[in-house]
Structure 1
Amino acid sequence: MEKILVATQKPFASEAIKKIKEITDREGYELSLLEKYSTAEELKTAVADAEALIVRSDKVTAEVIEAAKNLKIVVRAGAGYDNLDLDACSAKGIVAMNTPGQNSNAVAELAFGMMVYMARNKFNGTAGTELRGKTLGIHAYGNVGKYVAQIARGFGMEVFAFDPFVPAEKIKNDGITPVKTVEELYQTCQYVSLHIPANEQTKKSIKASLLELMPSGAVLVNTARKEVIDEESLALLMEKRTDFTYISDIAPDNKSLFEEKFSDRCFFTPKKMGAQTAEANINAGVAAANQIIKFFKTGDETYRVNK
């Protein structure tokens, strides 16, 4: 009987664990839980005899992989997977997967919640602005980007998107205007919502030289990863442009500097909250369990992210 380990420093909701257990019991797999652990050693010990591993934002390092002698598959319950050492997984013949789309609506709703909050001056009683009629750029038109675009259209915003990996016709069919370059997106849109992954090509790619192209009253919304922002460059830009606002679900490393200098033009959630809804929590956990079962039973590798 294969053992599936769910290892989460921030545990799944109890309903998610209940559903995961129903799946594993029905299919004849052993389920083991490691919740609220505090050290990598605890994870290494727990994963030593597991054939499958489900994590959230937990770090699956080369050391963890080395300790997992029987591991065949690891699934990150969520879209981003930069917490998985893909090279280490590949070297050991371990399949690494994510669960794209399961958290998308939750992240999109958070992005808009933050936009409304800042447009209305953090609800401080003063007159704010409206989103209707404003231009919104979607930087990367994946699962989250599509949901953000749908919500934006409901708000009456004019929506543009840049994604070199998505055909322009597909974007047009959703009622969104595609643009050919990232520079055109930033030049055109007062609001830009970031949905790019953090990798060697994108880290620190969002910098002043790009952001300064944005029109007056610019607002950058980041529900992706903090690593894609050139924080030093952004801070310098915000000193120069007093009309620029930065909203993020991931507090920057120099958070105190931003809050000290630009307190009325920045907002950061207390912790990464994009996927923090009951629905997303359950959806991602259940999807991870189902993907593991399919992999064991049929060899399905649909959502594999390593080579």
Structure 2
Amino acid sequence: MKVLIATEKPFAAAAVDGIKAELESAGHDVILLEKYTDKAQLLDAVKDADAMIVRSDKISADVLDVANNMKIIVRAGAGYDSIDTEFAKQKNIVVENTPGQNANAVAELVFGMLVFAVRSFYNGKSGTELKGKKLGILAFGNVGRNVARIATGFGMDVYAYDAYCSKEAIENGGAKAVDSSDDLFKLCDVVSLHIPATAETKGSINYDVVSMMKKGAVLVNTARKEIVDEDGLLKLMSEREDIKYVSDIKPDKDAEFAKFEGRYFSTPKKMGAQTAEANTNAGIAAARQINAFFATGDTKFQVNK
């Protein structure tokens, strides 16, 4: 089978070597398309590919429409909203992700940004400590569980809410379960967001929700920018000078947020999975999933059933 690795933002060289070794060991031919600057390059490359590994690349209906041999696409990472999964389903193309491979990298970034925020962005002014503070984790998947693990090491009091995760599972993962997301925002000094961008969650982190947070609260977003109602959060931050917002996803209204000097920070691009380890782990996991699919029909990680 012909497997296309299509990455506008390439894997690290060591990761590419590992991915190719996995695929070639199963007898597949590997085609590499890196740093492409024109969608036409992607459209041409997918025409005769049987499988594809992508990162944050936009795999829209027009890309899928010309991929006449495509049988499986694996997103090397957890989020897959950059792929038109419904159209892929119509074309009988399996779409998978690689959950958990980037989880520790994202969780460590949460704390990198969080320490930066509570220590006044290292501007020389007095800050606060994380020990003894209440941390709320919204969604308790692979990243949330890693955040809980690290928070325990900081001596934080950890709480979590996940509409699709039992209280028992949350407590087994090292956090105290609360009954609702509102309870999380009311109770905690810090809330870390890990919900996906869905019709239900887009814009759900809004003025009313964040306004429930305690004085001196910090909101951390390493999930998706679409879950935050930017207008609502901007309004709240203009009214409450105690709230800080740090994000791994540059908001659409970054310039307006930047006016809140000492209370806002965003990475220049999404960096949660930007470690050598996560890069390699996710890429090799994607290769192994493709091998399993062609060898046995395994679709364990399919997201468009």
> TM-score higher than 0.5 here?
yes
Q: 1:146 Cα deviation (Å)?
A: 0.4
Number of the residue aligned with 2:159: 160
Question: 1:281 aligned to 2:279?
Answer: yes
- The structural deviation recorded for 1:175 is 2.9
Deviation at 1:94, TM superposition (A): 0.2
Aligned counterparts, 1:75-224, within 5 A: 75-224=74-223
Q: Distance in 1 between the 2:190 and 2:15 partners? A: 35
**Secondary structure, aligned partner of 2:31:** strand
Question: Any idea what SS the aligned residue of 1:303 has?
Answer: coil
Equivalence map 1:228-247=2 (5 Å): 228-247=227-246
| Matched residue type, 2:109 | L
Identity of aligned residues (%): 55
Q: How many residues align?
A: 305
Paired letter, 1:19 = G
Amino acid corresponding to residue 68 of structure 1 in structure 2: A
What's the offset of the Cα at 1:174? 2.7
For residues 37-78 of structure 1, the C-alpha deviation after alignment (integer angstroms, 9 at most, x for no partner) is 011111010010000010000000000000101000001100
Match of 1:71 in 2: 70
Distance 2:99 2:280 in 1: 14
Deviation track 1:229-264 (CA, whole Å, cap 9, x = no partner) reads 00000000101111110000001100001102x121
1:264 to 262, 283, 290: 262
Normalised TM-score (structure 2): 0.99
- 2:14 corresponds to: 15
Gaps of 5+ in 2: none
- Distance in 1 between the 2:105 and 2:275 partners? 6
CA deviation vs aligned residue, 1:166-214 (integer Å, no higher than 9, x gap): 1101111233100011110110001000000001111001101111111
Is residue 113–residue 246 contact of structure 2 (8 Å, CA) maintained in 1?
Answer: yes
One-letter amino acid of the counterpart of residue 283, structure 1: N
Q: After TM superposition, which residue ranges in structure 1, 4 or more long, deviate above 3 angstroms?
A: none
Query: Are the equivalent residues in 1 in contact too, given 2:145–2:174 (CA < 8 A)?
Result: no
Q: Secondary structure at the match of 2:262?
A: helix
**Cα RMSD for the two superposed structures:** 0.7
Question: What is the distance in 2 between the residues matched to 1:286 and 1:223?
Answer: 23
Length-normalised TM-score, structure 1: 0.98
